[in-house]
């Protein structure tokens, strides 16, 4: 029980820090190229991943051994590209609106798991996916009679993250979690460093402080999330991650002057409810396949 309680504490800490990280990313992304912001953040993340790998059983030598090198390279390139898209979306679309659309990621994962993982999706999850997609359409509903192309940014980011999750699941069939985490940080840092220097910008003194805080939040949030997953099932952690949408909405309205429409609020509620059910149902099906009772 104490371990579970600690797991929830770690999960909540991760979510709060992720939300702070999003606010800082929006601030910096509005003043500097998102590729540059993501590159500096990724350098800190890569150092953190390498440090964790060095402390893992077998050390760095054992961690770098992978049976799926091409898949790990793909994962490593996908995530920094997705982060750049997210930071750009925070700046152009807004923090609250972007997070509302990103909340649909579990639905996209469920859809992609059929062709890419060969998983079967039953009528219950199909129903949840349908409800969630209706919620996404409500969030995207144009107010001026025409679709805003800017919404393609968070939609693309959600799709990229869903593919990243799918490739992570594929890699986990043969590689340990620490190997995947290492390649996420190191390959991602190398990939974004190929283009990031072309967008180099001079930070003001206060923004160096914000950048340092972004690096600290970026590493500490992942650390707390790892600890949470060590103590809790994914089905227990995932519903809590939707609190990030609540925090993003609060920050968007109070700090960045964003507005929340009725369509967005209703659509977000549908997306969150559908996402929670989808993740819970995946958990039940996985336990059934393993011969364990549902809980």
Residue 259 has pLDDT above 70, yes or no: yes
Buried-state track 85-113, b at ≥16 Cβ within 10 A, e below 16: bbbbbbbbbbbbbbbbbbbbbbbbbbbbb
pLDDT-based confidence at residue 118 (cuts at 50, 70, 90): confident
Taking the C-alpha atoms of residue 274 and residue 132, their distance in angstroms, rounded to an integer, is 5
Cβ burial of 249 (10 Å; 0-12, 13-18, 19+) is buried
Q: What are phi and psi of 174, to 5 degrees?
A: -130, -20
| Residue pair 123/284 in contact by the 8 Å Cβ criterion | no
pLDDT digits (tens, 9 = 90+) for 201-233: 999 999 999 999 999 998 898 888 888 877 877
| pLDDT of the residue at 155 | 93
pLDDT digits (tens, 9 = 90+) for 25-79: 999 999 999 999 999 999 999 999 999 999 888 899 899 999 999 999 999 999 9
Which SS3 state, helix, strand or coil, does residue 291 take? Answer: coil
| pLDDT of the residue at 57 | 86
Residue 244 has pLDDT above 60, yes or no: yes
User: Measured in Å, how far apart are the chain's first and last C-alpha atoms?
Assistant: 15
pLDDT-based confidence at residue 3 (cuts at 50, 70, 90): confident
Taking the C-alpha atoms of residue 101 and residue 125, their distance in angstroms, rounded to an integer, is 19
Runs of H (alpha helix) within 30-122: 34-55, 59-63, 69-92, 95-102, 105-117
pLDDT-based confidence at residue 285 (cuts at 50, 70, 90): confident
Taking the C-alpha atoms of residue 109 and residue 183, their distance in angstroms, rounded to an integer, is 21
- Average pLDDT (243-249) is 89
pLDDT-based confidence at residue 140 (cuts at 50, 70, 90): confident
pLDDT-based confidence at residue 196 (cuts at 50, 70, 90): very high
| pLDDT of the residue at 280 | 80
CA neighbours closer than 13 Å in the CB half-sphere of residue 138: 20
**Cα 71 off chain centre by:** 18
Residue 20 has pLDDT above 60, yes or no: yes
More confident residue, 253 or 146: 253
| Residue pair 191/77 in contact by the 8 Å Cβ criterion | yes
| pLDDT of the residue at 93 | 92
Q: What percent of the chain has pLDDT over 90?
A: 48
| pLDDT of the residue at 123 | 77
| pLDDT of the residue at 283 | 72
Instruction: Count H helices and E strands in the chain, helices first.
Output: 13, 0
Residue 143 has pLDDT above 70, yes or no: no
- Average pLDDT (230-259) is 84
Residue 1 has pLDDT above 60, yes or no: no
pTM: 0.88
């Amino acid at each position: 029980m104490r371990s579970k309680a600690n797991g929830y504490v770690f999960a909540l800490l991760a979510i709060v820090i992720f939300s702070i990280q999003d606010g800082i990313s929006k601030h910096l992304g509005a003043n500097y190229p998102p590729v540059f912001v993501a590159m500096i953040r990724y350098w800190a993340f890569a150092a953190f991943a390498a440090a964790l790998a060095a402390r893992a059983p077998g050390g760095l030598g054992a961690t770098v051994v992978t049976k799926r090198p091409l898949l790990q390279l793909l994962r490593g390139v996908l995530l920094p590209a997705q982060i750049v898209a997210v930071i750009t979306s925070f700046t152009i679309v807004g923090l609250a609106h972007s997070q509302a659309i990103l909340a649909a990621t579990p639905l996209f994962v469920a859809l992609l798991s059929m062709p890419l993982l060969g998983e079967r999706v039953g009528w219950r999850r199909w129903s949840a996916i349908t409800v969630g997609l209706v919620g996404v359409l409500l969030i995207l509903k144009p107010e001026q009679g025409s679709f805003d192309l800017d919404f393609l940014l968070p939609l693309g980011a959600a799709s990229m993250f869903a593919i990243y999750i799918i490739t992570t699941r594929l890699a986990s069939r043969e590689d340990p979690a620490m190997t995947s985490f290492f390649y996420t940080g190191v390959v991602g840092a190398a990939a974004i460093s190929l283009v990031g220097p072309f967008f180099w910008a001079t930070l003001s003194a206060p923004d160096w402080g914000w950048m340092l805080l972004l690096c600290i939040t970026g590493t500490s949030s992942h650390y707390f999330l790892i600890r949470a997953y060590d103590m809790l099932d994914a089905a227990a952690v995932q519903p809590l991650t939707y609190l990030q949408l609540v925090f993003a909405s609060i920050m968007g309205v109070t700090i960045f002057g964003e507005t929340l429409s009725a369509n967005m609020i209703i659509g977000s509620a549908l997306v969150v409810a559908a996402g929670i059910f989808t993740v819970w149902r995946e958990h039940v099906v996985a336990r059934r396949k393993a011969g364990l009772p549902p809980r």
